[in-house]
Structure 1
Amino acid sequence: MSVPQTSAQHDVVIVGGGAAGLATAASLLKRRPNLDVAIIDPSDVHYYQPGWTMVGGGIFNQGKTVRLQSSVIPDGAKWIQETVTQFDSAYSQVRLSDGRTIGYRALVAAPGLKLDWDAIEGLRDALGRNGVTSNYGFDTAPYTWAQVQAMREGRALFTQPPMPIKCAGAPQKALYLSADHWRRQGHLKNIEIEFHNAGAALFGVAAYVPALMEYIRTYGVNLQFGSRLTGVDGAAKLARFAVTSADGTVKNIEREFDFLHVCPPQTPLDIVRDSPLASEAGWIDVDEVTLQHKRFENVFALGDSVSTSNAKTAAAARKQAPVVAENLLSLLDGKAMTAAYDGYGSCPLTVERGKIVLAEFGYGGKLLPSFPRWLLDGQKPSRLAWMLKSEALPEIYWQGMLKGREWLAAPQRLDALNKVA
């Protein structure tokens, strides 16, 4: 069978112009400025998604979290403003919505994931009115803050779907910042707060749970584990949940609300799930350490779309990008890969305005703090961590990560990690 003809050929094609894709492009071009790199992404704008929780908490202005996509494409990269419709990995090609076929020597897949708003009956129509909101949307995060400010009494519901989701702490960050505002305004005593978590634990890494539970008690939160949001009737202000008990039985309940913050279920993109790159679960099937695809050696992937067991955060992508850059260049040069990813992810849990529990961990829940404990103890609420989140991290993102400046992100060496293992 003949190889399909390509419309263009590049050394490296990066699918996805989000945090992971742009950081990888910048890291590649930092190491090899003359490399022919093409980024395929249809978006006109680029979002700093970690900032949306702060928008919903009244700390950031919405405009602080968005820039023109053209302004963040790394110097030296070509931007193809189209949508990929097919991964044709057997021929080292991708197909675009305009009919073109783009060939590559190596592919970096970083298309992100799907926020499945339609998986919850009635949610899409309810969002942005009748007290139904989500910090997972650029357009709805400001509505979160408006509703928090307006609320004086009643019932506030916060939800978290089954894992995996991007930024697993974000659903409870919304809760903490909202409750802290109500406390400061003297309204907390009149507001009943429920956290409906489809999982069985407040946070996946046990070391951080004690500090978080202190705030759950302080804010008087009613924790509901095994409780999954299934439907929303915004006009009637009713939320429906499927509650799974310890013996596995499922009961459907309804809860009235005055305020409802929703974290939508999250799944692989259809284009990924239906591609040869997908694992059985639908995510891009890569080696957890090298981030190389398990079946196509000239394919690497990172970010929210991959099968790795790390937390899906921008901090993870910041650590993954240099690993992909180094290993991809080794592949192109016919050399052995040397860079290793240890599963690092970070979740700055904004437990109140001015304090954060800085969760940093890797594969298996291993704690991976960036700072000595005497300076910043991630297991305790910290003002320094708040300054890091509110002041430093946005600049590290825009001026560091997206420009190939790998502050505190140098890859581990594969041989050293193997010795530890």
Structure 2
Amino acid sequence: MAALRHLKQCHPRGIAISNFHTSSPASAKQHYKMLVLGGGSGGITMSSRMKRLVGAENVAVVEPSEIHYYQPIWTLVGAGAKTVASSGRPTASLMPSGVKWVKSKVQEINPETNTVRTDDGTVISYEYLIVALGLELHYEKIKGLPEGFGHPKIGSNYSVQTVEKTWKALQDFKEGNAVFTFPNTPVKCAGAPQKIMYLSDAYLRKTGKRAKANMIYNTSLPVLFGIKKYADSLWEIVKKRDLQINLRHNLIEVRADKQEAVFENLDKPGETKVFEYEMLHVTPPMGPSSVIKGSPLADEIGWLDLNKETLQHTKYPNVFGIGDCTNLPTAKTGAAVAAQSAVLSRTISKILKKEKPDKKYDGYTSCPLVTSYNTVILAEFDYNGQPLETFPFNQAKERRLMYHMKADVMPHLYWHGLLRGLWGGPGPYRKIMHLGMK
């Protein structure tokens, strides 16, 4: 808590922004000791840490977006508990002072020549590269989308353009099926597709509409949640609240004009089922960054190929990665980024000294499973799918305290701790909480 109090006193400082790259000729070339690709959670966090390690003038971040979003809060935005405005801040206010912000999109990575080309033709060379390009959403892989979002009754908490449509669909709900989906791909925050179902259920109970609603969760997975301890608790909630779960159902088409969603049965190829809906929440298929996929840095599927303990590239020793763009076999969450950032920072500092990395990432990740407007099950686990809980009580139980952690403490920790390179996950506190036994 002392650490939290310290973080509360910290505020992000704005910086003067150079527009060198936006007006520079295509032939311009620059060189940086530490080049960071991506200005999301992982990119801003690592640029803050690298500034302290090698000096601001030696660090550059390539990121086209003017606004940076704290995406975990979109679950609550889609349920009307937070505003979309509260989730975004100008990228300029978060970029560490003195670090070069290249306001462009990465077009090509060439690790053989240690260069990156941006969409305006600028070539940037580097000594060390940190790849934090996130993943890509593929609404277009579902027939009828994204154009279907032009119709009412359909939303998605995974995009700033569609998250408020979820809340509108929930408010406008009268009677019928409320359908929630989970795609047949890796996703970021694997709990989010079902969190909105629990919140929608709570909202419809609060407004007296629940008796006329069928709550349906169609997931491509063979389980409700990947970690048994938490899945058991969620199944209890599902039964208690009369929620319908259909495993191995994958959304393939939305007929928004007819309010119909078509699902394939993954256990019976060729078999499909049409669900009429009064409300539909779509979690889109997701995939690796096309820039990484088309480069020598990718594994056979297209994710950044890393050593899962050191976060160093398996083939190029001066390349590192963090976050959703990687092939690390753990859930893709902001909490994972926090834990990874501490390990990666240590790995790079050792390599700069020509020493061997000595800190290992254990796959720690966390998913605050929001089960109502005031309760959360806080799932925390490692590479082996074993619970790795911070608090000395059973986190598989719904708790009001954990809701406040999710809604109030974690955003503060994100803006003033993680992005400034001051928060590397709860690892050190876990040992204290468990009296050194974890």
Q: TM-score, normalised by structure 2?
A: 0.89
| 1:240 partnered with 2:262 | yes
Give the drift of 1:288.
0.5
Give the drift of 1:128.
4.9
| 1:211 partnered with 2:233 | yes
2:177 is aligned to 155
Give the drift of 1:139.
2.1
* Counterpart-to-counterpart distance in 2, 1:34 and 1:161: 41
1:267 is aligned to 287
2:73 is aligned to 51
Is the Cα–Cα contact under 8 Å of residues 216 and 243 in structure 2 kept in the other structure? yes
1:129 is aligned to 151
Give the drift of 1:410.
6.1
In the TM superposition, 1:402-421 aligns within 5 A as 402-406=419-423, 408-409=425-426
* Counterpart-to-counterpart distance in 2, 1:279 and 1:32: 29
1:416 is aligned to none
2:7 is aligned to none
1:277 is aligned to 297
Q: Secondary structure at the match of 1:363?
A: coil
Give the drift of 1:119.
0.4
Give the drift of 1:58.
1.1
User: Percent same amino acid at aligned positions?
Assistant: 34
| 1:389 partnered with 2:406 | yes
| 1:301 partnered with 2:301 | no
Give the drift of 1:383.
0.7
Is the Cα–Cα contact under 8 Å of residues 390 and 427 in structure 2 kept in the other structure? no
Kindly tell me: are residues 196 and 278 of structure 1, through their superposed partners in 2, closer, same or farther at Cα, counting changes over 3 Å? same
Letter in 2 for 1:79: W
* Counterpart-to-counterpart distance in 2, 1:309 and 1:13: 25
Letter in 2 for 1:356: V
Letter in 1 for 2:207: Q
Q: Secondary structure at the match of 1:311?
A: coil
2:64 equivalent among 19, 38, 42:
42
2:396 is aligned to 379
1:342 is aligned to 362
Is the Cα–Cα contact under 8 Å of residues 6 and 103 in structure 1 kept in the other structure? no
| 1:312 partnered with 2:329 | no
1:254 is aligned to 274
> How well do the aligned residues superpose, as a CA RMSD in angstroms?
1.6
1:202 is aligned to 224
Letter in 2 for 1:135: N
Q: Secondary structure at the match of 1:365?
A: coil
Q: Secondary structure at the match of 2:271?
A: strand
Unaligned runs of 5+ in 1: 413-421
Give the drift of 1:33.
3.9
Number of residues of Structure 1 aligned to a counterpart in Structure 2: 403
2:83 is aligned to 61
* Counterpart-to-counterpart distance in 2, 1:243 and 1:206: 23
Give the drift of 1:144.
1.1
Letter in 2 for 1:110: A
Letter in 2 for 1:339: K
Unaligned runs of 5+ in 2: 1-26, 430-438
Q: Secondary structure at the match of 2:230?
A: helix
| 1:169 partnered with 2:191 | yes
Is the Cα–Cα contact under 8 Å of residues 8 and 102 in structure 1 kept in the other structure? yes
Partner deviation per Cα, 1:54-83 (whole Å, 9 max, x = no partner): 101111111110011111111231100011
1:230 is aligned to 252
Deviates more, 1:320-329 or 1:86-95: 320-329
Give the drift of 1:6.
7.8
| 1:286 partnered with 2:303 | no
Is the Cα–Cα contact under 8 Å of residues 323 and 411 in structure 1 kept in the other structure? no
